[in-house]
Homo-oligomer: A and B are copies of this chain.
Amino acid sequence: MTRTGAVFTTPWPLRINPHLDQARESALAWMRRFGLLDGEQAAEDFVDWRLAEVAAFFYPNASAEECCTAAQMMGWYFLPFDDQLDGEIGRHPSRVAAVCSALIGIVHGVSGPEAHDTPTVRAFADLWSRMVRGMSLPLRTRVAFNWTSYFSSQVTEAIDRTTGFAYRDLADYFSLRAATTCAFGQNDLGEKWGGTEVPPQLWHHPVLQRMRQLGADVVALRNDSMSLRHEDVTGGHNAIHLIQRSRGGTRQEALAEASCHAQEKVDELVELEERALSRLVRAVDQSQRAALRGYADIIHDWICGDYEWERITTRHDEHRVMPDWASGLLVGAGS
């Protein structure tokens, strides 16, 4: 079944972590252990959705152990969490807020999984402790901030579902969308998993800020355009819906416009790196230059990895319906 989404070209190669197979096995075992996979179909979904692949694409230089953690993270993110929030729970902001508040508590070391004792939260507590292991305190602060922004965006989306709020402006939408993909929080992990930590006084630089926002925007356009079969049914924010709503054209025209936007953003990123990033690299100490160039690689892996993953995953082939066994993963039976 061929899906066509936003298309664009980049000058960067797709890179793949050599520990991919080990990471897939490790993630399947870990998800079973935490009750996040039930039966053969769920395990097949994990494999066919290519969740180990997306981890291997995003973090091509991660060690075997890190690549395993990354694949578990993708499994956690896509299987029990994201899809649950698209369902019935996602229409109850206070229930979403309770789950996200527990996850934010874990991210800040305020509380453990007992604050909201469900398989998803228990698994996240286990995962997070390994995600941040060995991180410097500044990176840990940053990753906590960016993952909090991600969890917060789930609450925002739940509120928007109940109020029917719809974005009118792509730029406004992209600001929330960077949070809903956890773009910056996943980019942060690239510095730890096979990359080089960007010194805190440079990570906030406007050039790096623009680079990661462009990366997030491009992935948003690609993802929104490829997940329409699901989101045409469930609703929720989607760039293609937004373009069609505001321009009134056909689906094909909206996809063509999304492709244009994505290509322009890739081109802007290429130029930004050639000029502004190069200027910045020259202005900082020798010892910090590798981290700046490495940051560009993280954004490239993010864009190229997502592009390929959207092509090969079966996740977006049709509208997904949450299987019965999964209904208790996020909220307890009694909540």
Known contacts being A137-B110, A141-B141, A142-B145, is A283 close to B159, with CB within 8 Å? Answer: yes
Which residues of chain B are near A203, meaning CB under 8 Å? Answer: 152
* Interface residue ranges of A143-184 to B (CB < 8 Å): 144-145, 148-149, 151-153, 155-156, 159, 162-163, 165, 172, 175-176, 179
Which residues of chain B are near A104, meaning CB under 8 Å? Answer: 138, 200-201
- Beyond the given pairs A94-B284, A142-B145, A148-B204, 16 more chain A to chain B contacts, judged by CB atoms under 8 angstroms and listed by A's residue number, are A94-B285, A97-B284, A97-B285, A101-B199, A101-B200, A108-B141, A109-B137, A141-B144, A151-B201, A152-B201, A155-B201, A159-B280, A163-B279, A165-B279, A175-B209, A179-B204
A interface residue numbers (CB < 8 A to B): 93-94, 97, 100-101, 104, 108-110, 136-138, 141-142, 144-145, 148-149, 151-153, 155-156, 159, 162-163, 165, 172, 175-176, 179, 199-206, 209, 279-280, 283-285
* Contact status B93-A283, CB under 8 Å: yes
Which label, helix, strand, loop or mixed, suits the secondary structure of the A interface?
A: helix
Count the copies: 2
* Contact status B110-A172, CB under 8 Å: no
* Contact status A205-B156, CB under 8 Å: yes
Which residues of chain B are near A179, meaning CB under 8 Å? Answer: 204
* Contact status B204-A149, CB under 8 Å: yes
30 contacts between A and B (CB under 8 A): A93-B283, A94-B284, A97-B285, A104-B138, A104-B200, A108-B141, A108-B200, A110-B137, A138-B148, A141-B141, A141-B144, A142-B145, A145-B145, A148-B200, A148-B204, A151-B201, A152-B201, A152-B204, A153-B204, A155-B201, A155-B205, A156-B204, A156-B206, A159-B280, A159-B283, A163-B279, A163-B283, A175-B206, A175-B209, A179-B204
